[in-house]
Amino acid sequence: MRRHRNVKIVATLGPASSSKEMIRRLFDAGADVFRLNMSHGDHDDHRARYDAIREIEAETGRPIAILADLQGPKLRVGQFASGAQDLEEGDRFRFDLDPAPGGAGRVQLPHPEIFQALEPGSGLLVNDGKIRLRVDECGPDFANCTVMVGGTISDRKGVNVPDVVLPLAALSDKDRADLEFACQLGVDWLALSFVQRAEDVEEAKRLAGGRAAVLSKIEKPAAVRAFEDILSVSDGIMVARGDLGVELPIHSVPPIQKRLVRQCRSAAKPVIVATQMLESMIESPVPTRAEVSDVANAIYEGADAVMLSAESAAGSWPIEAVTTMDSVARSVEADPNYRAIIEASRKAELHSVADAIVTAAREIAETTDIAAICAFTQSGKTVSLVARERPRVPIIALSSIEPVLRRLCLTWGTHCVSTPRLSRFKEAVVNATRAARSFGFADETRQVVVMAGVPFNVPGTTNILRIAPCDERLIFASDPE
């Protein structure tokens, strides 16, 4: 089974997609990565979904990536004595630490760290930014505000603080428990919510201890400002446009998305574009034209993956949502303009032998009759470097290390194939050409580029490139080494 597109599809699992049968249908429709949202459901729910995915993986013989998305610290107001309250522009409203039920002029905000960071003039956003307030006075246990944009405030509504970096850990006690559970379960990726600084990522990586790769969700202005530092310590990035669009002017999100995607590509790290991509398909079998354009735009930018959230987790049309994304991706990638845009945004990155070899592999593939680039990898790095080049031919990632192949399922253009542990380059050539033929990338009349490192089974040793025929008689008739 192979995909006839390069961009990957991430599908979130939930009440609408919990059974093994439905997960298999999502996979067959085009889902490459399954997301377990730790904000919803309990550990038993997630374990059952994980087990179903691994059973499907065994049945299909195709590695499947599983991403556990940690909830992150949720900032919420307390409760109101007499139900929801209407706030109008110009009203005065107070947030404080008093646990007493709120009323017309105040409510508890049980987060002292917010009050520590606020200054007069800071903004507070409530209920996904529908209500906007300006801080006039503040202290260690209160903030007196003026309502700038009114609306209805009710129990437990979320609060965003866009103007300041909060002295708040990215991992709550729940997140730490969920992280350990997910790592013991065997997930491939951890998504870290509400990252503000590189130190947040480093803490998560220490706790993961190499058992899963860590992907940083960019959804706060502080993360945008510190993006280079965050990217340098992250294994991947998610442009989570939901909270980002709440905390920043909505018109600033598209250029930020474009910039972050390009920086991730330059760093050879996978990037997911997420949130509200096909939102209307929660209830409708057909997306809006604007949503289709949004998905297409992310693919034109060169994103590694696009993501479905509630569309596949709780919507009425999960299979149709995945099918729509797959169709949009195929259409975009068949457009000559797509190739022109992708190649125009390519930057030369020649810092190592591996950089030079992957650049040469891409150039050879584009100037000769090459069916695929076959890259052997121990850590996934070589394949990531090939994907950064966005070659015109498919990338076949080969490894004997199953967790590496699963993580690479998130990387643009990769078809992951498990191989035995090898000891000679000729074995690598034979395995590569067999994989190219068996998965329909080439027949015996074609050639592939094979990349590997000697000595074998040592990360970071990519140093060989060979153009190999897919006819094994020609392979064995050539130099034995």
Q: What gap in Å lies between CA 277 and CA 308, rounded to an integer?
A: 7
Burial class (CB in 10 A: 0-12, 13-18, 19+), 458: exposed
Determine whether 106 is an active site residue. no
The dihedral region occupied by 126, where left means phi > 0, alpha psi between -120 and 50, and beta the remainder, is beta
Q: Is 76 a catalytic residue?
A: yes
Q: How far apart are CA 71 and CA 318, in angstroms?
A: 22
Query: 400 CB contacts (<8 Å, ≥6 apart)?
Result: 418, 419, 420, 421, 422, 457
Tell me which of 275, 324, 359, 462 is the catalytic residue: 275
Residues 62/53, Cβ–Cβ less than 8 Å: no
C-alpha span between 19 and 346 (Å, rounded): 41
Catalytic residue among 3, 5, 8, 35: 35
Per-position DSSP letters for 66-102, written without gaps between them: EEEE---PPPB---BTTS-EEE-TT-EEEEES--S-B
Which residue in the list 76, 174, 381, 446 is annotated as catalytic? 76
Contact 296/332 with Cβ under 8 angstroms? yes
CA 410 centroid distance within chain: 7
- Asked if 445 is an active-site residue, the reply is no
**Dist. CA 307–CA 322, nearest whole Å:** 9
First to last CA, the chain: 31
Q: Say which of 106, 217, 241, 390 is annotated catalytic.
A: 217
Q: Is 241 a catalytic residue?
A: no
Residues annotated as catalytic (active site), given as ranges:
35, 76, 217, 275
